[in-house]
């Protein structure tokens, strides 16, 4: 741990139903999701979630439909109240906040982007973008200035006077992102922000987000059910299933060492050569100095296969920021392309 | 010899029955026989003997065999006494509360009539322009009012219009807040919906009756209240519905950005519910117009008075022509409110 986490979720449980506290006792005693629903009629939304979200990082929460992703992200700004647990933001437990402090948090520290955009249909694009400023009580001029700045930044200059229904889905979501950015909050929550967009626009938006993140260094919590998207964006990947965390960590690490058949299924369809990076499969420097060439630690494996022409006898020197950091043996590379299984994963490690 | 004599004898209650005979007002049957147009009522005089003719054991019927049992007319007089006993307290509370309504009605009647026609008609056209921006409608409204004036129905028409303006104003001022409260609380909604149903289904004459006892017929608030009670229902209903129908995602976004309840209400919920609220206002206006005619029975001025004269004096022409004027007014009001409604809709389609 280099830093204190920006957001820290501790022992979080959420149970939907009439008597969640009572049902919680059963869950503490080891009852599972299906059994709880059958015997007590309560839905176990989240169980024992512990996640640290580092500042300036993109934490991606991934899982299939119904795994509790939306429920989890709504606990961060308390759109949903937990049944048990803590949500700590900048060292303060959000659950101790009264209404005023909570509004303060939502206005200043956290902003949110929604799957269905959720723009105000009766307000112009500019008014929507500056909304968070008006809510905070700032005057219209400041709000418009901030709105304008971020609309320009997301490539929507010239559309200020339009209404949301006059824009395409991709453009509406750009407004949604501008709205979230205009509040200058440290933390940005994005609930399947790109899922409603078609694939090309979606790639554009992912690139836009990464580009913005390079300048802004926000703490982003991003939800998706798409593994490609998750791997592209994530610094830290959390995989949810039936309301609990199956595995979390560096995305490359999860890909190479899945600890659950559920995750193996997830990663089996992925183009590993394109996603895996040299740094994840290289070996430490061992004094050898006959290399076929020099590669960057962040190159993906596809690029190396192309470089080597498919010859597995080669080895490359790996550099990062001009420093020698390791050796890549093409045989290791080929081995990494075969999906690992949960049982073997400990051996490879 | 009444039908249930035998019953009381076998029960051994004859003594108790004869103990305190009631000689109250006449029975329901006698009352109906008296007011009805001489219907064939000889049957009730002869007590039924055959099994097939056994009457239902109603209060009146039982009373014939057992004088101790109260008759239905006694019951209605209890209801009457109950109402009369709370009347003074009710009046004491309601009178000052509803006084502003009288002032508003009288004030606006005076104002609408004080302004000469050549000021009033352009003023109305200006309102139509502000609400609809449609030249066609302005032309239609102008022609309608010129026609009404030409056939000397300008004054009653403008009186009716003034009453509708005031009553609709009160309906909106009261109905929108009530609708908002209803949309916030399911308990209140469960309680309010039967009340609203009752207000809408009760024959309008029925709530004129207690109102006549409460307020003097010369006071304008009497008909004002009758109109408002009847016409307020759609505004309340549609405000409640409109706010409940606001997109939940948008509400969630408003919460996520830390809007206060107030900001959410005025910045999001009311603007997004506005098309529904305006549809309610349109219905309210049409219902006030329907009621203002009936309210002429209790001294509401306007076109209704002429219709009433047509009925009372069998002046067929007077009644029909003023009826036509009411239809014309209804079309004008409906078109203008619908046009402004569709302008709102166009501004916020999504
Ligand atoms: N208000 C609620 N009442 C009862 N159960 C709920 C409620 N909200 C969510 N759930 C349940 O909690 C579980 C998780 O739901 P959630 O919406 O968080 O899933 P998700 O991962 O976001 O799925 P999706 O990808 O479809 O959006 C589901 O089983 C759902 O049925
Ligand atoms: Mg979801």
Would you state the structure tokens that stand for residue B86, as one six-digit string?
Answer: 């709370």
- Residue after which a domain boundary falls, among A240, A267, A294: A267
| Helix or strand holding residue A248 (H, E) | strand A244-249
Contact call for B258 and A120, based on CB within 8 A: no
Look at residue A170 and tell me if it is in a domain.
Answer: yes
Q: Among positive and negative, which fits the CA dihedral A296, A300, A303, A304?
A: positive
What ligand has the least distance to the C-alpha of A240?
Answer: 1
Burial class, A74, CB count within 10 angstroms (exposed 0-12 / middle 13-18 / buried 19+): buried
Ligand 1 contacts CB of residue A46 (under 6 A): no
Condensed to tens digits (0 to 9), the pLDDT of residues A19-71 reads 999 899 988 888 888 888 988 889 999 999 999 999 999 999 999 898 999 99
| Of B257, B258, B271, Cβ closest to residue A122 | B271
Question: Which ligand has an atom closest to residue A66 CA?
Answer: 1
Q: How far is CA B101 from CA B105, B170, B216, B230, B302, in A?
A: 6, 8, 14, 15, 17
Q: What is the 3-state secondary structure (H, E, C) of A261-330?
A: HHHHHHHCCCCHHHHCEHHHHCECCCCCCCCCCEEECCCEHHHHHHHHCCCCCCEEEEEECCEEEEEEEH
pTM for the predicted model, two decimal places = 0.82
Strands of A75-204, DSSP E: 84-89, 92-93, 110-113, 187-191
Scanning chain B, the segments in alpha helix (DSSP H) are 5-11, 14-19, 28-35, 42-45, 59-65, 72-114, 117-132, 135-150, 154-184, 186-201, 204-214, 220-244, 248-256, 261-264, 270-294, 303-312, 316-347
Pick from A45, A73, A75, A192 the residue to mutate for probing ligand 1's pocket: most ligand atoms within 8 Å of its CB: A45
Residues A216 and A292 in one domain: no
pLDDT band at B42 (very low <50, low <70, confident <90, very high): very low
pLDDT digits (tens, 9 = 90+) for B57-93: 888 888 887 877 888 888 888 888 888 888 888 888 8
Query: How many CB atoms are closer than 10 A to CB A174?
Result: 26
Other beta carbons within 10 Å of B8: 20
Residues A74 and A170 in one domain: yes
The mean pLDDT of B224-243, rounded to a whole number, is 94
Residue A287 and residue A173 share a domain: no
Ligand 1, atom 14, residue with closest C-alpha: A68
| Domain with A185 in it | 55-83+97-267
Phi, psi (degrees; rounded to nearest 5) at B334: -65, -50
Chain B residue with minimal CA distance to A185? Answer: B257
Q: Quick one: closest CA in B to A180, which residue?
A: B257
What is the pLDDT, as a whole number, of residue B11?
81
Which of the residues A74, A98, A105, A120 would you substitute to probe the B interface, choosing the one with the greatest number of B C-beta atoms within 10 Å? A120
Segment A99-153, tens digit of pLDDT:
999 999 999 999 999 999 999 999 999 999 999 999 999 999 999 999 999 999 8
* pLDDT given at position A347: 40
At residue B1 the predicted structure's pLDDT band, cuts being 50, 70 and 90, is low
Give me the residues paired with residue A241 across strands. Answer: A244
How much is the average pLDDT of B303-330?
90
- Number of A–B residue contacts, CB under 8 Å: 63
CATH 1.10.3720.10 placement within chain B: 86-349
Residues A248, A290, single domain; the answer is no
Put simply, the answer to whether B249 touches A106 (Cβ < 8 Å) is: no
**Ligand 2 center–CA A81 separation, angstroms:** 16
Residue A259 within a domain: yes
Dihedral (CA of B27, B30, B35, B37) sign: positive
For ligand 1, say whether the CB of A43 is within 6 Å of any of its atoms: yes
Answer yes or no: do A142 and A278 share one domain.
no
- pLDDT of amino acid A345: 44
Same domain, A65 and A192: yes
Q: A122 to chain B nearest CA, in Å? A: 5
Tell whether A77 is covered by a domain: yes
Query: In which residue are the tokens 């109102």 written?
Result: B211
Q: Does B273 touch chain A (CB under 8 A)?
A: no
Q: What is the pLDDT of residues A211-257, one digit of tens each?
A: 999 999 999 999 999 888 999 899 999 999 999 999 999 998 888 88
Q: What is the CA(A122)–ligand 1 centre distance, in A?
A: 29
- Is residue A308 situated within a structural domain? yes
Using CA coordinates, name the residue in chain B closest to A115: B249
- Ligand 1 pocket mutation pick from A27, A40, A66 by most atoms within 8 angstroms of CB: A66
Question: In this structure, are A260 and A280 located in the same domain?
Answer: no
What local confidence, expressed as pLDDT, does residue B329 receive? 93
> Three-state DSSP class for A240?
strand
Q: What integer pLDDT is reported at residue B21 of this predicted model?
A: 62
Q: For testing the chain B interface, which of A121, A133, A168 should be mutated: the one with the most B CBs within 10 Å?
A: A121
**Is the minimum distance from the CB of A36 to ligand 1 under 6 angstroms?**
no
The complex's ipTM? Answer: 0.86
Q: Name the token pair of A219.
A: 């703490």
| Residue A109: DSSP 8-state | T
How confident is the model at residue B348, as a pLDDT? 67
For chain A, the domain total comes to 2
Hey, is the C-beta of B252 within 8 angstroms of any chain A C-beta? yes
pLDDT digits (tens, 9 = 90+) for B151-208: 999 999 999 999 999 999 999 999 999 999 999 999 999 999 999 999 888 887 787 8
Per the CATH hierarchy, to which homologous superfamily does domain B86-349 belong?
MetI-like (1.10.3720.10)
- Answer yes or no: is A10 within a domain: no
Same domain (yes/no): A307, A162: no
**Are A147 and A167 contained in the same domain?**
yes
**Pocket of ligand 1 contains residue A69 by CB under 6 Å:** yes
Same domain, A78 and A105: yes
Interface probe with A: pick from B247, B250, B253, most Cβ of A within 10 Å: B253
In a domain, A116, yes or no: yes
> Does A32 fall in a domain?
no
- Give the strands of the sheet with A323-329, arranged side by side: A294-296, A315-320, A323-329
- Of A267, A289, A311, which residue sits at a domain end? A267
CB of A167 closer than 6 angstroms to any ligand 1 atom = no
Out of A70, A225, A227, give the residue to mutate to test ligand 1, the one with the largest number of ligand atoms within 8 Å of its CB. Answer: A70
Query: Which residue of chain A comes nearest to B260, CA vs CA?
Result: A103
CA distances from A135 to A103, A112, B254 (A): 10, 14, 9
Does residue A30 belong to any structural domain of this protein?
no
Q: Using the 3D structure, point to which of A236, A267, A298 is the last residue of a domain.
A: A267
Same domain (yes/no): A195, A322: no
Q: Which ligand is nearest to the CA of A37?
A: 1
Q: Whose CA is nearest to atom 24 of ligand 1?
A: A65
A236-241 sheet: strands from edge to edge: A110-113, A187-191, A219-224, A58-62, A236-241, A244-249
Q: Which CATH number covers residue A322?
A: 3.90.1280.20
What's the confidence (pLDDT) of residue B161? 93
Tell me what the mean pLDDT of segment A261-286 comes to: 84
Shared domain check, A280 and A255: no
Whether ligand 1 lies within 6 angstroms of the CB of A71 is answered as: yes
- Residue B288: pLDDT band (50, 70, 90) is very high
CATH number (domain holding residue A102): 3.40.50.300
Distance from the Cα of B125 to chain A's closest Cα (Å) equals 28
Give percent of chain A with pLDDT exceeding 90.
Answer: 56
């Amino acid at each position: 741990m280099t830093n204190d986490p920006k957001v820290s979720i501790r022992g979080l449980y959420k149970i939907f139903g009439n008597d969640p506290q009572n049902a919680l006792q059963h869950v503490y005693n080891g009852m599972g999701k299906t059994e709880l629903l059958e015997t007590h009629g309560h839905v176990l939304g989240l169980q024992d979630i512990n996640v640290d979200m580092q500042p300036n990082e993109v934490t991606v929460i991934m899982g299939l439909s119904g795994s509790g992703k939306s429920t989890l992200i709504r606990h961060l700004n308390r759109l949903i109240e937990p049944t048990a647990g803590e949500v700590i933001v900048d060292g303060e437990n959000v659950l101790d906040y009264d209404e005023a402090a909570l509004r303060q948090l939502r206005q200043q520290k956290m902003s949110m982007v929604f799957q269905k955009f959720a723009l105000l249909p009766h307000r112009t694009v500019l008014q929507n973008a500056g909304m968070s400023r008006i809510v905070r009580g700032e005057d219209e001029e400041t709000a418009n200035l901030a709105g304008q700045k971020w609309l320009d930044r997301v490539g929507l200059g010239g559309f200020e006077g339009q209404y949301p229904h006059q824009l395409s889905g991709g453009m509406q979501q750009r407004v949604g992102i501008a709205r979230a950015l205009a509040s200058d909050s440290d933390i940005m929550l994005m609930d399947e922000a790109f899922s409603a967009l078609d694939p090309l626009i979606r790639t554009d938006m992912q690139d836009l987000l990464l580009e913005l993140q390079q300048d802004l260094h926000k703490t982003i919590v991003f939800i998706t059910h798409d593994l490609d998207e998750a791997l592209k964006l994530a610094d830290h990947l959390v995989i949810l299933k039936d309301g609990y965390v199956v595995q979390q960590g560096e995305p490359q690490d999860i890909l190479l060492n899945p600890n659950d058949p559920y995750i193996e299924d997830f990663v089996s369809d992925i183009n590993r050569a394109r996603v895996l990076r040299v740094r994840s499969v290289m070996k430490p420097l061992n004094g050898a100095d006959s290399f076929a060439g020099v590669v960057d630690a962040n190159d993906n494996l596809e690029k190396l296969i192309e470089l080597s022409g498919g010859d597995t006898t080669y080895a490359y020197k790996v550099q990062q920021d001009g420093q020698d950091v390791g050796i890549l043996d093409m045989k290791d590379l080929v081995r990494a392309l075969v999906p690992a299984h949960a049982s073997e994963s400990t051996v490879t490690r | 010899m009444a039908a249930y004599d035998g019953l009381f004898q076998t029960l051994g209650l004859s003594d108790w029955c004869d103990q305190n005979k009631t000689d109250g007002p006449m029975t329901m049957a006698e009352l109906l026989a008296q007011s009805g147009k001489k219907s064939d009522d000889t049957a009730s005089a002869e007590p039924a003997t055959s099994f097939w003719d056994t009457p239902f054991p109603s209060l009146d019927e039982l009373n014939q065999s057992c004088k101790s049992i109260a008759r239905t007319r006694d019951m209605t007089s209890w209801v009457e006494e109950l109402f009369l006993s709370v009347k003074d307290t009710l009046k004491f509370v309601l009178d000052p509360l509803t006084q502003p309504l009288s002032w508003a009605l009288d004030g606006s009647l005076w104002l609408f009539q004080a302004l000469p026609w050549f000021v009033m008609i352009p003023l109305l056209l200006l309102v139509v322009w502000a609400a609809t921006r449609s030249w066609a409608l302005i032309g239609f409204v102008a022609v309608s009012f010129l026609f009404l004036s030409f056939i000397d129905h300008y004054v009653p028409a403008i009186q009716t219009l003034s009453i509708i303006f005031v009553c609709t104003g009160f309906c909106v001022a009261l109905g929108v807040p009530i609708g908002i409260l209803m949309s916030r609380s399911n308990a209140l909604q469960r309680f309010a919906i039967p009340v609203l149903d009752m207000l809408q289904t009760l024959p309008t004459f029925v709530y004129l009756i207690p109102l006549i006892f409460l307020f003097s017929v010369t006071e304008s608030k009497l008909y004002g209240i009758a109109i408002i009670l009847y016409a307020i229902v759609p505004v309340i209903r549609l405000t409640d519905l409109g706010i409940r129908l606001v997109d939940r995602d948008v509400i969630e976004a408003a919460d996520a950005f830390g809007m206060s309840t107030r900001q959410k209400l005025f910045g999001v919920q009311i603007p997004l519910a506005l098309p529904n609220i305006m549809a309610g206002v349109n219905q309210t206006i049409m219902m006030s117009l329907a009621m203002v005619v009936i309210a002429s029975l209790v001294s509401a001025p306007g076109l209704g008075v002429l219709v009433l004269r047509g009925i009372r004096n069998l002046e067929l022409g007077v009644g029909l022509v003023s009826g036509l004027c009411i239809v014309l007014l209804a079309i004008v009001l409906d078109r203008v409110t619908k046009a402004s409604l569709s302008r709102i809709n166009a501004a916020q389609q999504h």
